[in-house]
Every structure is written in C-alpha cells, then in structure tokens.
Amino acid sequence: MGKKDDEKAIAKERIAILFELGKKCAKKEPKLAARYVLLAKKIGMRYNVSLGRESKKLFCRNCFAYFVPGANCRVRTLSDKQSVSIKCLSCNFQAYFPYIKEKMKRKEN
Ligand SMILES: [Zn+2]
C-alpha cells in the first residue's frame, strides 16, 4: 500500500467514526450531528473517498442534518417509480434513491 492508500484508509476510518458520532447525538443534538456529517463530507472530498451508497441515505444533502426516521425526515417507498424518497423535515429537501439501479446495470452488461 502506498502513502495515498494509507491516507484513504485513514480518511475512511474517520468518516465512519464521524457518522457513528452523528448517529449517537442526532436526536438530542441535531446541530452537532449535522456538523459531524459536514466534516465527514469534507474529509471525503479532500481524500476523494466515497461516503458509501448507504450513508447517502443517512443525512440530508442540502443541510447535512443526520436523519432520524420519524423525527426529522420522512421516508417513502414509491413503488411506481421503484425508488425511495427521503424528505428532510429541517429544510424540506427531498432526495430520491432508485433501488433497482444495481439490477438494471447488471442487465445492461
Ligand atoms: Zn435538510
């Protein structure tokens, strides 16, 4: 592993820790949780590390609120569009996540 790989591994670890911290305080201290999310995103951008497909559903892309289902976001399954929508109740931003994307990609190949 080169130096860059080491840096990326460390960045990934830090991101995971920040998401853990965000998760823990999301209910009681949403502003702090949003700060952790923003930090994680900054680290990801700096080291060109993806936050992971699943973690994208954990926070709001617009205001970085860490989602607490039933508290600050509304999750809906849209069967006709075959996607999941998550609406942030702090800023009203709505994100869509198609859940058959992977399958379709595989078919194309
Ligand atoms: Zn938001």
Q: How far is CA 105 from the centre of its chain?
A: 22
Please give the mean pLDDT across all residues of the chain. 90
Provide the residues around ligand 1 (an ion) whose CB is within 5 A: 60, 62-63, 65, 88, 90-91, 93
Are 65 and 34 a contacting pair, CB within 8 Å?
Answer: yes
CA atoms within 13 A on the CB side of 48: 3
Average pLDDT over residues 30-34: 97
The CA distance from 25 to 47, in Å, is: 25
| Per-residue pLDDT at 4 | 86
Residue 40 belongs to domain with CATH number: 1.20.5.420
Q: What is the pLDDT of residues 71-93, one digit of tens each?
A: 999 999 998 888 999 999 999 99
Residue-range definition of the domain harbouring residue 36: 3-108
Kindly give the residue spans of alpha helices, DSSP state H, lying in the chain: 3-25, 30-46, 101-108
Residue scoring higher pLDDT (94 or 54): 94
| Per-residue pLDDT at 104 | 54
Query: Ligand 1 centroid vs 78 CA: distance in angstroms?
Result: 20
| Per-residue pLDDT at 100 | 63
Query: Ligand 1 centroid vs 37 CA: distance in angstroms?
Result: 12
User: How many domains does the structure of the chain reveal?
Assistant: 1
pLDDT band at 52 (very low <50, low <70, confident <90, very high): confident
In percent, the amount of the chain with pLDDT more than 70 equals 90
Query: Ligand 1 centroid vs 97 CA: distance in angstroms?
Result: 16
Query: Ligand 1 centroid vs 5 CA: distance in angstroms?
Result: 32
| Per-residue pLDDT at 39 | 97
Beta-strand pair 73-78/94-98: unpaired
Provide the Cα torsion 36, 87, 75, 83; round to 10°. -110
